Amino acid sequence: MIAGRSAVAAAAAAGALTVSLVPALPAAATTPATTTTTPALTVVATNLNNPRGLTFAPDGTLYIAEAGTGGPGPCLDGAEGLVCFGTTGSITRVRLGQQQRVRAGLPSLAGHDGSQAIGPADVAVDGFGLLSFTVGLAADPDVRVTTKKLTGMAKLYASGRSGPRLIADLGAYEKKANPDKAAADTNPAGLTVVGGTRYVVDAGANTLLKASARGKVSTVAVFGKRTVPAPAGNPDLPEGTPLPMQSVPTSVVKGPDGAFYVSELTGFPFPAGGARIYRVVPGHAPVVYATGLTNVIDLAFGPKGSLYALEIARNGLLSGDRTGALIQVDPQGEHRVVASEGLTAPGGIAIRGKDAYVTNCGVCAGAGSVVKIRL
């Protein structure tokens, strides 16, 4: 689900001022995660296609972004082989125990078996119940010019009664502005809505963006590269050789202190313990809030302001182990494993009350699910 700098699997002036006046949460230090008793996983949705981000509406309705299973084509080269386009992406609703796809026919790219798709990546609901969602791409935005059917990808949408309504073309913004000054690459991922403004992380562009209600896009933060040692096992790259590693931001949430918190997957070599969480106040450079995490795919705040991080691969993406983990990031720096057993390449988290809802098998075609975990 990774292509280049990408992962699939982001305030209005008054809001920015409010953020700048509110004190920060205490910075979290690096501490090995402790494990508690494994909680039960209660299944609340099944038969999902590459489920990713999810969210609750004010009335308790759960919405889930499904990246789809690709389709008949056209096809193009992806980071892990040939991927083909289709309109199999969707948004699923779970209400009063009933599961239904309420928005279908959305863009999707996937390999021949439909797994590890790129498509609808995250979903958010504002205070009025209006649904917004991102659609990824994981490529140079110019591919949408050479492959016309990809036109609907790398964009931010609102979902109205008559169908999806374009809010902003985030791929076009990456091509024009290219905030991190690297090769153009776009993969809109995590999304949150504050008032009339939508905040999106572009995992390909290494940025946190904001889009106004009228679709004007601007850069809130850029997450730069850092140097890490090469892992063992590559005869052409001696262990310890310095390597530039991309950030690959995956999610954005607004904290109880008014700041934004952004997780990162990291790029190659995806080191275990190498992922960070950043605290972002618009108008200021990102500040590292937590370290010592691994390939974080999503964030959510829970009871009493606790921050939870979802790791897509607890032992690192290069380990071959798809076991994920739900981690409580303690404000004093002690990370706690809430759940891991039974989580397979999870794709997103939402919290309601004292329960976390996690998309499980977020890279699976037809076998994805949502599970409920007591916090």
13-374 under CATH 2.120.10.30, yes or no: yes
pTM to 2 decimals?
0.89
- What pLDDT shows up at residue 304? 87
The two most distant CA atoms of the chain are separated, in Å, by 56
Residue tagged 């931010």 (tokens): 156
Give percent of the chain above pLDDT 90. Answer: 81
- What pLDDT shows up at residue 331? 64
Domain residue extents for the chain: 13-374
Categorize the per-residue pLDDT at 37 as very low, low, confident or very high, splitting at 50, 70 and 90: low
Mean of all residue pLDDT scores within the chain: 90
Sheet holding 217-222, edge to edge: 188-194, 197-202, 207-211, 217-222
Categorize the per-residue pLDDT at 25 as very low, low, confident or very high, splitting at 50, 70 and 90: very low
Sheet holding 368-374, edge to edge: 41-48, 368-374, 355-360, 348-352
End-to-end CA distance of the chain, in Å? 28
Tens-place pLDDT, residues 323-369: 999 999 976 668 999 999 999 999 999 999 999 999 999 999 999 99
Tens-place pLDDT, residues 253-305: 999 999 999 999 999 999 999 999 999 999 999 999 999 999 999 999 998 89
Q: Where are the beta strands (DSSP E) in 49-112?
A: 51-56, 62-66, 75-78, 81-95, 98-110
Average pLDDT over residues 93-106: 96
